[in-house]
Amino acid sequence: MNIPNVNHFIHAYKVAPWRIQRQWIGSTLLAVVVLAMVATLYLDVTAKAAIAGREIQDLNAGILASQQVSADLQTELATLTSVSVMEQRALELGFRPMVPEEAQYLIVPGYAAPKPEILAAVPLPQMSASTFPPEYSESLLDWIDEKIAISARGIR
């Protein structure tokens, strides 16, 4: 029963050789389609990576440009607030240097000038010899003597 089926297939291929050619062509086309899909996927991933890299470069260029603009503005601010420029602007606005005799002081009752925190005395903790552990007040010779005494006791 199995042999007639095999003979039938062999006879079918001998009668129609174009079937074998069609299978080879189909297999080749399938391999070409698979390779094309893999190549397309590879190109897609590569293109996305290149686009992301370019965006990173653009963002870094933007950061550098912003830092440059910030540095320029800081320089301009430093120039505008320099002593010589501020003095010139004050003179142009009608101000003049103050004479000490023209100074007027206003006394406000109950106002106490704040003391700067940085100059305030920090209370130091009171340390006495009794608060230190004995390890900190022991000399090296005392320590060696104690270790020798302990080892001598341990040998006996």
Please give the full DSSP string across 36-65, using - where no structure is assigned. HHHHHHHHHHHHHHHHHHHHHHHHHHHHHH
- Mind listing the pLDDT tens digit for each residue in 12-27? 666 666 667 888 899 9
Distance, in Å, from the CA atom of 124 to the CA atom of 141, rounded to the nearest integer, reads 31
Q: pLDDT tier at 1 (50, 70, 90 boundaries)?
A: very low
% of the chain exceeding 70 in pLDDT? 79
Name the pTM for this structure.
Answer: 0.43
Alpha helices by DSSP H, listed for 81-133, are 83-92
Distance, in Å, from the CA atom of 125 to the CA atom of 132, rounded to the nearest integer, reads 13
Give the CA-trace dihedral at 64, 70, 72, 73, to 10 degrees. Answer: 160
- Angstrom CA distances, 49 to 44, 45, 55, 62, 123, stand at 9, 6, 10, 20, 62
pLDDT of 115 higher than 90 = no
Distance, in Å, from the CA atom of 135 to the CA atom of 147, rounded to the nearest integer, reads 13
